[in-house]
Amino acid sequence: MITLAVDCMGGDHGPRVTLAACRQFLEHHPDARLLLVGLPASLQAFAHDRAAIVPASEVVAMDDPVEVALRKKKDSSMRVAIQQVKDGAASAAVSAGNTGALMAIARYLLKTLDGIDRPAIATQLPNATGGATTVLDLGANVDCSAEHLLQFAVMGSALVSALQEGGEPTVGLLNIGEEVIKGSEVIKKAGELLRSAASSGDLNFFGNVEGNDIFKGTVDIVVCDGFVGNVALKASEGVASMIIGALKTEFSRHIFTKMAAIIAYPILKALMRRMDYRRYNGAALLGLRGLVFKSHGSADAMAFEQALNRAYDAARNNLLDRVRTRIAHAAPLLVPADAQPQPGVAATAQ
């Protein structure tokens, strides 16, 4: 039996969406239990023999500053959900709430794993192979060092090998064309570290990749700092929206194009399904002493259920142990040269 703690209050839609997703999820997973965390009044209508309500008296708003979420709302549904993981009552927590608050609370309550300086956010993006590329970091860390990028690569490898079938996943380091790599010393050094990690069997390093490789599906995992990852993600969403918008405009231009739209409808629907970001909802917060998954704030019930599925798969496949084992194995590479005298310092330093 896998137990997940669900922050039912998070996201743009709150319990209306999260509870609908929870019901679907329980139907699809007969060996799962859910702890529904939130305001009892909002949740009491939900009755299921594998669900229990865990009360929380506060809700982190989507626009709450991190400090407010962390210091003022100590009985928030988000925090209580993560506390369930810390207490061992749940194997993973899932929330559609404010990313910054979720990361801060998760980090405060769960702490980082030995050998990890900074947790990362890993998400999946659909690619041209029909599969998905896992990209990390996506917003948690700006100004990363080469060692941080290596940590992301190791954690991403653990994630993908826990959630996807197939051999050791390939890792690409996000870089720019050969034209101008001068100056990006961090990337060059990260490349060296990743090559060392590949030779010591810690990961399967493909080499440098460029922005378009994320969507070509050149590698299973693309590693970058959080600023670059966030821009790449949002730029891609922007292009996709623009193209979909232009398709709609062109098809609704006049009577003939509207008729064409009716005929092309099944094809367009297949296209939309293929591009549907909801199918890949559920970003992993990696590097913590517990599993936490983040759903998109605007998720509908289908999308939120995907995030629950990913948390369930991660828990069932022991993602936490996998990350821990891999990080321990890669430890000699992860401690920066200047910190060598004090082994383990990286785990507590922050």
Which residues are at the interface with a second copy (CB under 8 A)?
Answer: 98-100, 103, 126-128, 139-143, 174, 176-184, 187, 210-216, 224, 226-228, 230-243, 245-247, 250-251, 253, 257, 259-261, 263-264, 266-268, 270-271, 274-275
CA atoms in the 13 A half-sphere facing the CB of 12: 7
Give the long-range contacts of residues 27-31, CB within 8 A, separation 24 or more.
28/305, 28/309, 29/2, 29/312, 31/1, 31/2
Nearer to a second copy, 165 or 178 (CB): 178
Q: Work out how close the CB of 325 gets to a second copy at its nearest, in angstroms, rounded to a whole number.
A: 28
Nearer to a second copy, 16 or 234 (CB): 234
d(CA 326, CA 120) in angstroms, rounded, equals: 15
Q: Work out how close the CB of 133 gets to a second copy at its nearest, in angstroms, rounded to a whole number.
A: 10
Nearer to a second copy, 128 or 349 (CB): 128
d(CA 347, CA 345) in angstroms, rounded, equals: 5
Nearer to a second copy, 297 or 336 (CB): 297
Does residue 282 sit in helix, strand or coil? Answer: coil
Q: Work out how close the CB of 338 gets to a second copy at its nearest, in angstroms, rounded to a whole number.
A: 20
Q: Work out how close the CB of 65 gets to a second copy at its nearest, in angstroms, rounded to a whole number.
A: 9
Nearer to a second copy, 100 or 207 (CB): 100
Pick the closest to residue 156 from 177, 192, 125 (CA basis): 125
Q: Work out how close the CB of 241 gets to a second copy at its nearest, in angstroms, rounded to a whole number.
A: 7
Q: Under a CB-based contact definition with an 8 Å cutoff, are residues 297 and 102 in contact? A: no
Nearer to a second copy, 84 or 124 (CB): 124
Q: Work out how close the CB of 295 gets to a second copy at its nearest, in angstroms, rounded to a whole number.
A: 15
Does residue 124 sit in helix, strand or coil? Answer: strand
Q: Work out how close the CB of 247 gets to a second copy at its nearest, in angstroms, rounded to a whole number.
A: 6
Contacts of 296 (CB under 8 A, 6+ apart): 11, 96, 277, 278, 281, 303, 307
Pairing of strands 120-126, 283-286: antiparallel
User: What are the tokens at 36?
Assistant: 């529904």
